[in-house]
Chain A
Amino acid sequence: MARILIIEDDDRIRTALRLMFEGEEFVVDAAASAEDGIAMFDRQTPAIAIVDLMLPGANGFEACRHIRTTSDIPVIIVSARDDTADVVEGLEAGADDYVKKPFVPRELLARVRAHLRRRPTGRAAFTMGDLRITPEEGTVLRSDGTEIHLTATEFKLLTELAGANGRVLSREHLLEHVWGYDYFGDGRLVDVHMRRLRAKVEPESATPTFILTVRGQGYKLVL
């Protein structure tokens, strides 16, 4: 019984989303503004959040940032704008994925399920510099024992790269295996998340030593 937080200012869409997710056996917290949504999130942490970027008052970007300060849950943003800069800004604010209005309900459901389903299994623990990564537990520990918080998406990206044993993985491969997209996902999802991941695990994110970009092909992890 997963709890889902929906922040959407359009009453009708919010109601429809609530009805749909309730029909799919979710527990739905539906908020009409970023402030209400943040309050709901603080009261009880959901398993996943859907945030409309176009909100009155404090906008969806702030809601994303707030959620990201305390939680690693997947956040899917809903963008009604054509301006692709919005999508990138939303991803930079911490969102894991995005859908554009008008979305196909079944696609949104599929995205939500894909994000909830992910918990990498069967991968052995490995070290990267002074970091100890344990996929079974979903933890990243420094040698001094402090934990680094990776979002679910970031963690899955890291383990996917580690599983390739130094081979180059294309953006399409990563989209398919981390986000569950087929060949035609948005490569920017990968790039933004890769940037955030580097900021967390690389000693010097401007000059990465573990996660390397192979121009025109993709990414690879060098241990």
Chain B
Amino acid sequence: MATRSLRGRLTWTFAVGAAVLSTIFAGLTYFGVRHIIVVSRQASDLQQAYVNAALVRSALSQDPASLPSLLTSLDAATTSSSLVRLGSTWIEGTTVADPETIPAAFRGSGTEVIRQVVIERNVPVLIIAVPLPAVRATYFQRRELADLNGTLNRLLGIVALGTLFTSGLGAYAGRRTTRRALAPLADTAQAARLVAEGDLAVRLPSDAPHSEVATLSAAFNEMVEQLVRRLDRDARFASDVSHELRSPLTTLAMSAEVLRLHEADLHPDAREALSLLTTDVATFQALVEDLLDIAKTDAGTDALVNEVLPLNELVSQCVMSATRRHQLPPTTLNSELPCECYVSVDRRRFERVITNLLENAYRYGEGQVTVTLLANDGGVEVAVDDNGPGIAPAERERVFERFYRGSGASRRGNAHGTGLGLALVSEHVKRFAGRVTITESPLGGCRMVVWLPTVEAGSE
């Protein structure tokens, strides 16, 4: 089910609520007012009919000849039309009122006053019949209620407009209210996004006017504080552990070195054990160095010394230095750069990147490693190829995780990686505004590509 906007929903609810309420009130108002108008109108019409009937009665009893003129004057004075029935004789005023329009129900010689509202040619008409037994006549009064219809029509129009307006107002108010009510939610989402992107300085304002929002803000801020404390503690822990390991590790390394100086005096088994010891102490030292490096990067306490350097020379120096220090086999270096390109990097961290990539290539490859420089995508690429088994696409993201050990790759030789090499590569390259990716190598193994933006030679 697709997620729906809470705000849209609330707005709609407001609008519908306003519509329903205003419709109910409009309906009550309309029908109430209609009832009052109609009842009072019928009552006054009835009174009018009685008065007219009394006049007709006295005219009939005193001067029947005056009846037509009386009806005419009655019709002129009121907006109704009068009829008098004397047996089969119908006497009318001037207003057109055909006796045919009197419903059949009224034709009988009733003894009671009756009234009825009927529709004639879409116009409501009130008909009142007053029997006048004293003169053996019946007085009829017809009155069109078109004006009443007009009044009610206008009333209905006003009420309907009011309903529409109120519904619109409800929707608008709902929209406004929900925007204000949900604004803290949007702020929180934005802040959470920023935190997720690594901006740990983000906090929500703590002076929210509403207690619910204040609670949310406080909880969010507390969460971020906890997160920061946790991250700090983790970073500090790694750093502290490494620090504490330094002194004993130094002693260990030097003791091994002393033993190595006296290697000739040792039993062959002891010599072999010493070799294992020396190698692992070296790995251990590298690991502590890497951990410190990572901890500093995490804590953001290491200052980069970025310099603008020619890539060609930089990489060849790095390859030379790494080869000498780590006793690596000779590595082929190809440059496909169209011209000398400059990059802005921290020299020693860049060397670290190249060293780690080369070590990795020799550790997991079959011994053939090449480094290629390419221009690409507005920057330069340093591609390190090996002829090993390569890395499955599914694993390519994960090899940059700390202490990730590839499933397919078996360790070769007796030199262990620290498990942090590629993680450091990724961290450092990111800080040079570059990126590391893994593809397939033309040598058959994997190709690690470091992309870096180029800079102008003269810039510092």
Contact = CB atoms under 8 A, between A and B. Distances in A.
Interface of A: 10, 12-13, 15-17, 19-20, 23-24, 80, 82, 84, 101-106, 109, 182-184, 187, 216
Contact of B321 (A12, A13, A109, A182): A182
A13 B254 contact: yes
Contacts, number: 79
Interface in B295-310: 296, 301-303, 305, 308
Contacts of A20: 254, 257-258, 261
B93 to A, nearest CB: 116
Contacts of A216: 308, 458, 460
B324 interface: yes
A212 B288 CA distance: 40
A80 B258 contact: no
| Central interface residue in B251, B303, B324, by most chain A CB within 10 Å | B251
Main secondary structure of the interface of B (DSSP, over half): helix
Contacts of A103: 250, 253
Contact of B285 (A23, A102, A184): A102
Contact of B254 (A19, A84, A183): A19
A102 B255 contact: no
B246 A17 contact: no
Contacts of A104: 253, 282, 285
B249 interface: yes
Nearest to B249: A102
B292 interface: yes
B348 A184 contact: yes
B301 A82 contact: yes
Contacts of A182: 317, 320-321, 324
Contact of A23 (B246, B262, B348, B351): B262
A184 B347 contact: yes
B347 A102 contact: no
Interface residues on B, range: 35 or more
Given A16-B250, A216-B460, A102 B288 contact: yes
Given A23-B258, A82-B239, 14 more contacts: A19-B255, A20-B261, A23-B261, A80-B247, A82-B296, A101-B250, A102-B247, A102-B253, A105-B254, A105-B256, A182-B321, A183-B320, A184-B317, A184-B347
Interface of B: 239, 243, 245-251, 253-258, 261-262, 282, 285, 288-289, 292, 296, 301-303, 305, 308, 317-318, 320-321, 324, 347-348, 351, 458, 460
Nearest to B296: A82
A16 B252 CA distance: 8
5 closest A-B pairs by CB: A16-B254, A105-B257, A23-B261, A183-B317, A12-B251
Contacts of A84: 303
A23 B250 CA distance: 17
B348 A101 contact: no
Contacts of B288: 102
A176 to B, nearest CB: 10
B258 A183 contact: no
B247 A13 contact: yes
A101 B303 CA distance: 19
A212 to B, nearest CB: 18
A68 B64 CA distance: 151
A101 B251 CA distance: 10
| Central interface residue in A20, A80, A101, A182, by most chain B CB within 10 Å | A20
B246 A80 contact: yes
Given A19-B255, A20-B258, A101 B246 contact: yes
A102 B246 contact: yes
A32 B256 CA distance: 22
A143 B202 CA distance: 66
17 contacts: A12-B247, A16-B251, A19-B255, A20-B257, A23-B257, A23-B261, A24-B261, A80-B246, A82-B239, A102-B288, A102-B289, A182-B320, A182-B321, A182-B324, A183-B318, A184-B317, A216-B308
Nearest to A187: B305
B460 A105 contact: no
Given A183-B321, A184-B347, A102 B250 contact: yes
A184 B318 CA distance: 8
B84 to A, nearest CB: 121
Contacts of B347: 183-184
Contact of B247 (A10, A15, A109, A183): A10
B263 to A, nearest CB: 11
A102 B251 CA distance: 9
Nearest to A82: B296
B247 A184 contact: no
A13 B252 CA distance: 9
Contacts of B321: 182-184
Given A20-B257, A23-B258, A104-B282, A80 B317 contact: no
Given A184-B348, A216-B460, A101 B257 contact: no
A149 B41 CA distance: 127
B243 A80 contact: yes
Contacts of B251: 10, 12-13, 15-16
A23 B258 CA distance: 7
B319 to A, nearest CB: 11
Contacts of B257: 20, 23, 105-106, 109
A103 B285 CA distance: 8
Nearest to B255: A16
